[in-house]
Amino acid sequence: MASLEQYADQYQNIRFERRNGILQITFHTNNGPLQWGAGPHEEFPRAFADIGSDRQNRVIILTGTGDAFSGPQGTAAGAPKRSPQEWDKTYWEGKRLLTNLLDIEVPMIAAVNGPALRHSEIPLLCDIVLAADTAAFQDSGHFMSNLVPGDGVHIVYPMLLGPNRARYFLLTGQSIPAQEAQQLGLVSEVLPPQTLLPRAWELAEQIAQKSDLVLRYTRVATTQHIKRQMQDLLGYGLSLEGLGSADSLLNQ
């Protein structure tokens, strides 16, 4: 079992704050909005494993820093072009990024503080998703950047949007603003940025009134079907993404 004292200072891209069993994890890059790259991709699977094995965590709030949840906008020039041997690390981390997140067995609340342009599936795997009215959801790092969308977006978005709408979203690089995301069922509440985190804490404190076992087992019960889809489809999708990456390497 992990303790907050052991992992609180271990991650360059995450800040931790815990009060009364409610752990707020805040993504950042140099104290500004999170910029996806090799660092977060390596850190987040380990961090989610630590969070999930810390029995003092009873409710999780997940948020970003500043005016964006995650970026930068993906481009074809920035998409990875790797050999199969080089892709193996990405494959290993990519599987654990989402499976370790789903193995956090306490309720999770996402407070999406701004546009989520990269790995927008992460907040959508939380149990309650709140969004600032400035937020938007996009998969800018895959198909529109000449990369196969196989690292979990191919599971999460069809599950939430339906297969046809999700394929349109992934193939066109559509950006879904917060209000539309609420209408589509991705988001539960849309709030002014200044009230987003207070509302997340209000809900967390309400949820934390339940017993430890009710908290843990409710999360387990309501994510089991998602974990089954990850087990069946995530590794395969990452393998296809790796083939596309290797093809781009050969043809550059």
**Catalytic residue ranges:** 121
Is 65:34 a contact under the CB 8 Å cutoff?
yes
Q: Which residues are bridge partners to 19 per DSSP?
A: 22
Pairing of strands 59-63, 70-71: unpaired
Separation CA 193–CA 132 (nearest Å):
5
Spell out the residues 6+ positions from residue 74 whose beta carbon is closer than 8 angstroms to its own: 117, 118, 140, 141, 142, 144, 145, 147
Contact (CB, 8 A) for 97 and 156: no
